[in-house]
Amino acid sequence: MKILVIEDDREAAEYLERAFAEAGHNVHVAGDGETGFALADSGEYDVMIVDRMLPRRDGLSLIAALRSRGNSTPVLILSALGEVDDRVTGLRAGGDDYLTKPYAFSELLARVEVLSRRASSREAETVYRAGDLELDRLSHTVRRAGRDITLQPREFRLLEYLMRHAGQVVTRTMLLENVWDYHFDPQTNVIDVHVSRLRGKIEKSFDSPILHTIRGAGYMLKAG
């Protein structure tokens, strides 16, 4: 596994570099946000570990900038800020997981491995369809009624998961665990925010709704 660690604490960065290397992984380290962004933008990594508080460019703006450029590499955020609002902010910025300092390396390694497995998994089916909505995993495109729809990386992953389970009720917990790989209070509104944005893009100006809210249960993607 090729890992990019963006951490300004030299001792912590050296520890992570050594620990991941001992676990058999290839590690690159950046000590500030600008250097980290340049490495992330130019290299191909399986997972990125990003400290939230960084010099020259903070971790959240770094992640958001990468996502805006179409970089969908899984990101685990490290931070001493561990309140629910802090974690939600990190996830909304484009993070895939959030781990609060101090942490056990065994947990960090397990989370990184989960992110890597998800990113590297290749399913046989590459095109999903629900009515006139079509998602192509290989070309990373979405079309409805022949019209192209532009989605952000997180929105694309959310829609992909919903389309894989078209016609089935998908709970909030299922979305958190499979789209975000994160376990926290399922009452958080992070799901509502992303579903609302996605719904606006795949339903606006089209004849019929396709993403339905199942009161008290979750969501269902179903045409007609």
Domain layout of the chain by residue ranges: 2-120, 127-221
Residue with tokens 């931070």: 79
d(CA 220, CA 86): 29
- In degrees and rounded to multiples of 5, residue 59 shows phi and psi of -60, -40
Of the candidates 48, 96, 87, 76, the one whose C-alpha atom is nearest the C-alpha of residue 189 is 87
Domain 127-221: state its class.
mainly alpha
- For the chain, 224 residues long, give each residue's pLDDT as a single digit of tens: 899 999 999 999 999 999 999 999 999 999 999 999 999 987 778 899 999 999 999 999 999 888 877 788 899 999 988 888 888 888 888 899 999 999 999 999 999 998 888 766 544 468 899 999 999 988 899 999 999 999 999 999 999 989 988 888 888 888 887 787 665 555 668 888 999 999 999 998 888 999 999 988 889 999 86
Give the global pTM.
Answer: 0.55
Residue with tokens 């001792």: 11
Read off the DSSP letter of residue 1: -
Q: What is the CA 122 to chain-centroid distance, rounded?
A: 17
Domain 2-120: state its class.
alpha beta
Of the candidates 206, 209, 210, 205, the one whose C-alpha atom is nearest the C-alpha of residue 221 is 210
